[in-house]
Chain A
């Protein structure tokens, strides 16, 4: 089945029938291995919509608090964020049409870059399971499954948990896999500290992580607040950079949908999702809760039960 073709047709029909004013999806990007968020408002514009292994952005970001009727082309993680946002009153479900697309994972530009020694890739052909990468003086074929984003490799919700229409066939769910976090937990406190410090040293405080996060929508982020200034604004302070991420992770406790958008957006290649996934794992273990998997589940940190674990309290 040609997913791109079906997306175009579905979007065109929704727009032509005036069921929605806008379809948010992806268009071909300006570089190989890039696609780009796209806003189609007419059936003609819907012709530009595509689906590929590079549709890496979480589009839930673009459907929050919109006045018009919107349809969104959403993969599993986008939908988890949408579910979370509906529950937090950020999206009016009545005005949103979810065109779900089961997703086997998006490919990671940074891993691919390393595979070819970061030489310029000029052309990419997707054969279905493999990508053929062509540059000025090289050609390399890689299996897509080997170069997925970390968050895609461990994704358990490839098939959207909520949709009005599903394009493509449901993908069976994976077993939970927190091997990366378990390895992190197995490190000594000093090792973990050193690891985080090394990562945070790269931070330039561009806040791409926060802006790309569908669940980070505070009108004024604590890090920007000037009175009081909770945290230093200088990127030179590794401690402040780490504090920023730590507070972000805590604010996302029980809300992070583990989409990895933060890590993908980071221009400096900081391993951000490690901290978030540690929290995701803890919330799951402590409260049996997962964010954005059902409209009915109460938000993990907004409910209290007597059997809730509290051994982490001092």
Chain B
């Protein structure tokens, strides 16, 4: 199927009757995912949003439940969000990150109802990347500028129009209702050409990396990797696969709410015991954790690498600590 770029706004208004429509928009000089206001046009020419797509299902700050305690006892109000949602125009790396996060928020024993309720009620319209940035390395990491994994519907930009493909059953069902025109053979060929030809940096080689890292816990490599790291949370907060969080209560007297906030393995308090003992006492242990979590522990647990090659950590690191270089350095070790 196909949709002209000039018709996208109409399509989204139509979708907005039934769904909450979330799309990239320009805000405060940045491109961010936001609920589209009536008639608002999405920004679909972006390379990557500043904040990762994970925030749609796993917001930076989220009130899990509210509670009141009084003479009548305890009352709790659970804030599960079941609203049917369409995310329009998410890049393949961010879409892939949701597939990875599914592993975390639904394990063999527990289900995170907040994440999963949103997840189950959200339909993802992925948007291929015609021009990956120099910092993008998705083609290196089981993803790619036209990876359809996780998308329900997938768009390929062929200039004047998007070629639209139904990927999942959910996506196909929605497309059947929308009545878009069939794509011409020429349009399909143009899309296929883009999908085949456009590649991001594919030179980051992670083959065999997990096994190698698995034996490197005590390696002197970690002594210097972290040296220039300032210990801020920019890389982890802007990473689409980093999922660590903190749980805190915000309350006055006995009335309040349980809040979940993003947290980061780069912060000292993250692992500090009540006794003051810290199993990861410095930058060395924290960087080791960050790299091992993504490229070894996650692989061990879920058989997937917790990186999608979006390059946000590279772009946003205040000291240019480039994870591609770190991986190449590991590879170069004897």
Contact = CB atoms under 8 A, between A and B. Distances in A.
B269 interface: yes
B234 A267 contact: yes
B194 interface: no
A29 interface: yes
Given A204-B51, A236-B60, A198 B28 contact: yes
B135 A235 contact: no
B50 to A, nearest CB: 7
B325 A212 contact: no
Interface string A201-237: 1101111101110000000000010100100111111
B134 A39 contact: no
B166 interface: no
Given A120-B134, A204-B60, A269-B30, A62 B228 contact: yes
A264 B318 CA distance: 7
Contacts of A233: 246, 248, 259, 261
Main secondary structure of the interface of A (DSSP, over half): loop
Given A36-B228, A206-B234, A224-B267, A234 B314 contact: no
Nearest to A114: B29
Interface in A121-165: 122, 136
B61 A30 contact: no
B318 A204 contact: no
Contacts of B269: 224, 226
Band of interface residues on A = 35 or more
Interface of A: 29-32, 34-39, 57, 61-62, 118, 120, 122, 136, 198, 201-202, 204-208, 210-212, 224, 226, 229, 232-237, 264-265, 267-269
B230 A212 contact: yes
A211 B238 contact: no
Interface in B199-232: 224, 227-228, 230-232
B316 A57 contact: no
Nearest to A34: B320
B228 A38 contact: yes
Contacts of A118: 47
Q: Which 7 pairs, one residue from A and one from B, show the smallest C-beta to C-beta distance?
A: A265-B318, A208-B232, A234-B61, A206-B233, A267-B316, A211-B230, A37-B228
B320 A36 contact: yes
A223 to B, nearest CB: 11
A57 B322 contact: no
B333 interface: no
Contacts of A265: 230, 232, 234, 318
Contacts of B316: 267
Contacts of B314: 30-31
B112 interface: no
Given A29-B320, A208-B318, 10 more contacts: A31-B315, A36-B228, A118-B47, A120-B131, A122-B134, A206-B238, A206-B264, A211-B318, A234-B60, A234-B250
Nearest to A270: B28
Contacts of B322: 29-31, 36
A30 B322 CA distance: 7
B180 interface: no
25 contacts: A30-B314, A30-B320, A30-B322, A30-B324, A31-B135, A36-B321, A37-B319, A39-B227, A57-B318, A62-B227, A118-B47, A202-B30, A206-B232, A206-B234, A211-B230, A224-B267, A232-B250, A233-B259, A235-B61, A236-B60, A264-B318, A265-B230, A265-B234, A268-B30, A268-B50
